[in-house]
A = this chain, B = another copy of it.
Amino acid sequence: MKIINGGVTAPKGYKAAGIYAGIKRKRKDMALVYSTVEAKGAGTFTTNLVKAAPVLWDIKLTKESDNIQAIVINSGVANACTGDEGDKNNLIMAETVADKLNLAVEAVYTASTGIIGKQLPISTIVEGVPALVNELDESISAGTLAAEAIMTTDTHSKECAVSFQVAGKEVTIGGMAKGSGMIHPNMATLIGVITTDISISKDLLQEAISEDVKNTFNMISIDRDTSTNDSLFILANGMAGNEEITSKNNDYYEFCKALNIVTTKLSKMIAADGEGATKLLEVTVKGAKTYKDAVDISKSIISSNLVKTAVFGNDANWGRILCAMGYSGADFDPYKVDLVIESDDGSMKLVEDGETTDYSEELATKILSAKELKAIIDLKNGNATATAWGCDLTYDYVKINADYRS
């Protein structure tokens, strides 16, 4: 298993493109990922009751379509809360790409990200498709252009790839994602695309990604706002040439392990690049009675505005962490809790058995000043563990979101 360069074009048989079509004012705004051969498609989508038009389309395809070869994505407008016209525009977007690539429309996933409640500028999109298809390329840099074109308030693009062996064949998984604001995934992140050349059944591909997000994309939060557009796609086109995985054998678990490396890395990149964020906060809860308790507590901590502002201020205000644990709904004994903070600048126990250790505030502030922080909480109540990722809450989060549409 090794981390390699690139993203969605790293596996065999994938091309990508990212262009400026004119939806946004300046930055690239349309991306396309394309498998040159038939591919299995799976995905996980937002649990928000208000679902964007592309999400409804993708959920249908995920159930009904046996071949997904393209994913077309626009940024700038989310195509959410747009009624029948939104559904119609989404279909036009899929059809235009399908025509140009000689695919059935049911082979084209769509995704949109940006402002909610505005109609897609559909003629701009339709006019952009030929250029987008012309730019399709299998190079690493083409994958990067696609990763850049799906960004909204992200400050940088997010890509990752790994390669590993399955029964003597080299298999590759690549991925890209965008996050930034309205990030509290509850099935997937805002937009993520994973490509792989492994050969695997559609059912197991879906199961692998559905299980994986529980520990990765569903364990990040930037602002506790679950988006209307969360979509995580995975395509598997079989070009690695391995014998198709149709049962949960060793090859399947090897694939899951590699997938988890890609999704964990993308999840952490999203958390670290949250709107206005200056720091990545990783919270691990161990010694929980149940896995659900560990998940609920770690997510409650990374979602707390008061914890997030304290992290921004390098303030070891651990009472806010205990407070957020207490309202998580999970079961634990406050007077058994240990809390350790850790960064490249050191490690320190702040709380033992629910009370202060009378630590040095100076050293705590030094540890908290690092760009990547860990908080490790031991409940001493069982064996379950979970890790969640978040970021600090800063002036820039307010600035960006008080003025997002202008």
Contacts and interface: CB of A to CB of B under 8 A. Distances in A.
Interface of A: 47-51, 78, 80-83, 115-118, 181-182, 184, 186, 223-228, 303-306, 309-310, 312-313, 315, 317-320, 322-328, 330-332, 334-335, 351, 353-356, 393-395, 397-399, 401-406
Nearest to A225: B306
B81 A354 contact: yes
A317 B47 CA distance: 21
A81 B327 contact: no
Given A81-B334, A355-B82, A322 B181 contact: no
Contact of A182 (B49, B306, B399): B306
A193 B319 CA distance: 25
Given A48-B327, A81-B354, A115-B317, 12 more contacts: A49-B330, A83-B354, A115-B319, A116-B322, A117-B319, A224-B303, A227-B323, A305-B397, A309-B397, A310-B401, A394-B398, A395-B398
A185 to B, nearest CB: 11
A58 to B, nearest CB: 17
A47 B327 contact: yes
Contacts of A186: 327
A401 B335 contact: no
How many copies the complex holds: the figure is: 2
A319 B226 CA distance: 12
Q: Dominant SS at the A interface? A: loop
B305 A49 contact: no
B48 A323 contact: yes
Contact of A325 (B50, B309, B318, B331): B50
Contacts of A184: 327
Interface centre among A48, A51, A315, A402 (most CB of B within 10 A): A402
Given A116-B322, A306-B181, A405 B315 contact: yes
20 contacts: A49-B334, A78-B319, A80-B319, A80-B323, A81-B356, A116-B317, A118-B356, A182-B306, A184-B327, A186-B327, A225-B323, A225-B327, A227-B323, A228-B323, A228-B326, A309-B397, A310-B401, A313-B402, A395-B395, A398-B398
A117 B310 contact: no
Nearest to A330: B49
A405 to B, nearest CB: 6
B225 A304 contact: yes
Nearest to A276: B398
Contacts of A81: 319, 322, 334, 351, 354-356
Nearest to A332: B49
B227 A315 contact: no
A182 B398 contact: no
Nearest to A80: B319
A324 to B, nearest CB: 7
B403 A324 contact: no
In order of increasing CB-CB distance, the 9 nearest A-B pairs are A116-B319, A313-B402, A50-B326, A309-B401, A226-B327, A117-B319, A48-B326, A49-B326, A223-B305
A320 B116 CA distance: 7
A382 to B, nearest CB: 16
Contacts of A83: 335, 353-355
A225 B305 contact: yes
A9 B280 CA distance: 50
A364 to B, nearest CB: 11
A215 B233 CA distance: 43
A368 to B, nearest CB: 11
Contact of A117 (B78, B181, B318, B335): B318
A281 to B, nearest CB: 14
Given A318-B117, A403-B313, A324 B225 contact: yes
